[in-house]
Structure 1
Amino acid sequence: MSFKEELMQRLNEKEERMIEIRRYLHQYPELSFCEEKTAKYIADFYEGKHCTVRTGVGGNGIVVTIDSGKPGRTLALRADFDALPIQEETGLAFSSKTPGVMHACGHDAHTAYMLILAETLSELQEYWQGKIVILHQHAEELPPGGAKAMIADGCLDGVDNVLGLHVISSLKNSTVYYHAGPIHTGQSGFKVVIHGRAGHGSMPHETHDAILAASDLVVSLQSIVSRRVNPFEMTTLTVGRFEASGASNAVNGQVVLEGDVRTLSSEVQSLVEIEFKRILDGIALMYNVTYELDYRHNYPVTVNDEKLTNFVADSLKKSSIPEVMEVLDSGSQGPSEDFAYYAEVKPSCYFHVGAAPKDGQFYPHHNGKFTIDENALLISAKAMGAVVADYLEKYQ
């Protein structure tokens, strides 16, 4: 029996354990940068196994190295494990036991499949050459994310390539998706505090109206997307918070705005910031107000290495995994990912596993009713495992 065949068979036998681990983690979610118990659970899982474990990497990150003892390339596999500040509304028997915190993005599934895959790869060391590095990453959800700190702490030292995947509730079940080049947007965030001069509503000429200035800013910012950015460049700019408390018969002297920008190129990411500040300066001059601005580039664009991604796609198509009905090019996707930082350092590939419930009733990620079909765990383990097996065979 070949390495890949043995790997697939053992993963079949461990599917129930994957689901049990996922359900346990789902009940005990922890927020970004606060994942101490989850990190300990992960580290304890590897106790007594044929690998080395380094904890506290860049914070709560864990790096597991499986060394075959034979020369070869070093391949890193990444899985994130933080949760979100969301109240669960699924009604599942294994719902979150922590009020206001939920695995509403699938990171519990990522951790569960990766633990079992890593265990199985360690059991089959005689079949392959080189090293496999497992990156159990904390804090993907909250900028600046955990990836940057883990990289600074040496998690990619000696690594040749990095692979990762994400289960997606809105993508077709039993389907694996890939895309070469930019696959996830870069994300920037901003906070603007506009300071005017408050006063009585009957004497507006003695005031500097912060609400009027802020309202004009919200509308004018959309001209960046419609008039400053090439229409063939995907860009979104969202003002998600507009806060101005005060009396109804008074002119407000302060407004707070916060929002989000997504782009598919670093050049456009920089352009939007320049144009944002130009418009804000004009608004301030027009309405005689002042402002404070915090503009942050939180995550860069996630760019999949073309050669490695083509290899991943070919491997997935040729592996004929029974649970996988199709392997498709997904095109670029709107969300952002701090996997982007790994891809900036090493040739990398990030792909997706469709996890829509079979009844077709899905809820989006970051929703209190978010669920996945748990068959995505075995598919994720087999898809990643098949690519790993082909990669190690190619470079042995």
Structure 2
Amino acid sequence: MEEELLRELLPAMVERRRHLHRHPELSFMEKETTAFVRRILEELGVELSSGKGDIGVIGTIIGELPGKTVALRADMDALPLQDEKSCEYASQVPGVMHACGHDGHTAILLAVAEYFSRQKEKLQGTIRLIFQPAEEVCPGGAVSMIEGGALEGVDVIYGIHLWTPIPVGTAASAPGPLMASTDEFFIEVHGKGGHGGMPHMAVDSVVAGAALVLQLQSVVSRSIDPLDPVVVTIGSIQGGAAQNVIAERCRLAGTVRCFREETRSIIRGKIETLTEHTAQAYGANSSVEYMTGYPSLINDQNEFKRFLLTAMEVPNLKGELSAQIMPAEDFAYYLQEVPGCFILVGAGNEDKGIVYPHHHPKFDIDEDAMLHAAGLMIKMAESYQLEHA
């Protein structure tokens, strides 16, 4: 890796990230972001295609030396959140902000594209650049990018996520499962409305719903191996509108996070069975809408080892083993198709006040982390090509 060239690209990386931060776009709406990325890649002479639809970009850089095809991915979407930071690059779009670092990911991959475009005579094989929309919402943008040909001919894939819970200067990943699968469920409890002073003449859906919240806690504690990480969370319960009216309907919404497909299936069955039986016990009816989301993100063992080795070669960066984490990532779909590794790159810095978690209205990153992430992606690609030369 040409360290001097990479450092030369840092100012443009920061400028592009801040531009994208000022102009965020929600999932499946990233038209201006797509145009921004295409314009820069066209100036670099990168071969382009759009994948499936008019958002998202697939770029290809073919080196002058023979080798494999390495894919690198960045997500581009923002969140429906009001930016509360006081800085010159704060979001200019009311109610929308980059609160997860995807603006940084896009800027990083653009810098990597420029790096390899300048190094074609030394580049072994091919670099596939995947600028993906809609990571934040199911069904996600990864599937449509795959359907659009993003992985055609690809031998391995790498992705990074700027991660503020980790201090800048550290990167972390894990062999096998790193991030959880994510499912969502919505439960409707149907009772019989009535007067708050005459409950014996009604069927209280709120009482049945409250009982169901407690019953669902037993799904993890009494149905799953204690050594198998699982989360079942009820994030919302809504029923009724007046203090003296027994509500006819109560609605619950929740999420399920786990790492094993067998566990995932068990949890769904338990939720559906408990809902039906609990509602019946209170004289109510029920229905469950269960939405299967992203699968667990499972890194290739050998590519994780590559990460640990190459991280040592990136200036001012150290690689570590990460614990499994419950957030989900649709990068998991790519890893179901080809081997690869997803890496968390530290972007937090208490000294700079960069301490807010992802999806927080004051979220920000230490922009020095972008240099680490770009260097890591480049080194991973070069290491793979060298090994398979």
Secondary structure in 1 matching 2:117: helix
Which residue is equivalent to 1:262? 257
Q: Deviations over 1:247-275 (max 9, x none)?
A: 21111111111111110111111111011
Which amino acid is the alignment partner of residue 19 of structure 1? Answer: V
Give the drift of 1:173. Answer: 1.5
Which amino acid is the alignment partner of residue 219 of structure 1? Answer: L
Preserved contact between residue 185 and residue 263 of structure 1 (Cα < 8 Å): yes
Preserved contact between residue 354 and residue 366 of structure 2 (Cα < 8 Å): no
What is the CA–CA distance in structure 2 between the aligned matches of 1:272 and 1:242, rounded to whole Å? 20
Instruction: Please list, as runs of the form range in 1=range in 2, the aligned pairs for 1:368-383 lying within 5 A after superposition.
Output: 368-383=361-376
Which amino acid is the alignment partner of residue 329 of structure 1? Answer: L
Give the drift of 1:57. Answer: 3.0
Preserved contact between residue 57 and residue 63 of structure 1 (Cα < 8 Å): no
Which amino acid is the alignment partner of residue 268 of structure 2? Answer: E
Where does structure 1 differ by over 4 angstroms across 4 or more consecutive aligned residues?
Answer: none
Which residue is equivalent to 1:392? 385
Which residue is equivalent to 1:208? 203
Which residue is equivalent to 2:131? 136
Q: Which stretch shows the higher mean deviation, 356-365 or 98-107?
A: 356-365
Secondary structure in 2 matching 1:169: strand
Percent identity of paired positions between Structure 1 and Structure 2: 37
Give the drift of 1:211. Answer: 0.1
The root-mean-square deviation of aligned C-alpha atoms, in Å, is 1.2
Structure 1 residues 109 and 166, CA gap change in structure 2 (3 angstroms) = same
Preserved contact between residue 52 and residue 147 of structure 2 (Cα < 8 Å): no
Secondary structure in 1 matching 2:189: strand
Which residue is equivalent to 1:146? 141
Instruction: Please list, as runs of the form range in 1=range in 2, the aligned pairs for 1:229-240 lying within 5 A after superposition.
Output: 229-240=224-235
Q: Deviations over 1:160-217 (max 9, x none)?
A: 1110010001112211112110000000101111111100112211111100110011
Give the drift of 1:228. Answer: 0.4
Which residue is equivalent to 1:296? 291
Query: Which of the numbers 346, 357, 366 marks the counterpart of 1:354?
Result: 346
What is the CA–CA distance in structure 2 between the aligned matches of 1:59 and 1:358, rounded to whole Å? 40
Secondary structure in 1 matching 2:17: helix
Preserved contact between residue 185 and residue 300 of structure 1 (Cα < 8 Å): yes
Q: Deviations over 1:243-300 (max 9, x none)?
A: 1132211111111111111101111111110110110111121112122321011110
Instruction: Please list, as runs of the form range in 1=range in 2, the aligned pairs for 1:214-363 lying within 5 A after superposition.
Output: 214-317=209-312, 319=313, 321-324=314-317, 326-359=318-351, 362-363=355-356
Give the drift of 1:240. Answer: 0.8
Preserved contact between residue 128 and residue 393 of structure 1 (Cα < 8 Å): no
What is the CA–CA distance in structure 2 between the aligned matches of 1:85 and 1:69, rounded to whole Å? 43
What is the CA–CA distance in structure 1 between the aligned matches of 2:310 and 2:315, rounded to whole Å? 14
Give the drift of 1:49. Answer: 2.2
Which residue is equivalent to 2:16? 21
Give the drift of 1:331. Answer: 2.0
Give the drift of 1:50. Answer: 3.3
Secondary structure in 1 matching 2:121: helix
Give the drift of 1:340. Answer: 0.4
Which residue is equivalent to 2:178? 183
- Work out whether 1:366 is the aligned partner of 2:359: yes
Q: Deviations over 1:57-77 (max 9, x none)?
A: 355121001111543211100
Which residue is equivalent to 1:106? 101
Secondary structure in 2 matching 1:156: coil
What is the CA–CA distance in structure 2 between the aligned matches of 1:120 and 1:329, rounded to whole Å? 28
Which amino acid is the alignment partner of residue 84 of structure 1? Answer: L
Report the TM-score, using the length of structure 2 for normalisation: 0.97
- Work out whether 1:60 is the aligned partner of 2:55: yes
Which residue is equivalent to 1:31? 26
What is the CA–CA distance in structure 2 between the aligned matches of 1:237 and 1:62, rounded to whole Å? 35
- Work out whether 1:74 is the aligned partner of 2:69: yes
Preserved contact between residue 30 and residue 55 of structure 2 (Cα < 8 Å): yes
Give the drift of 1:85. Answer: 0.2
Which residue is equivalent to 2:121? 126
What is the CA–CA distance in structure 2 between the aligned matches of 1:193 and 1:285, rounded to whole Å? 13
Give the drift of 1:238. Answer: 0.8
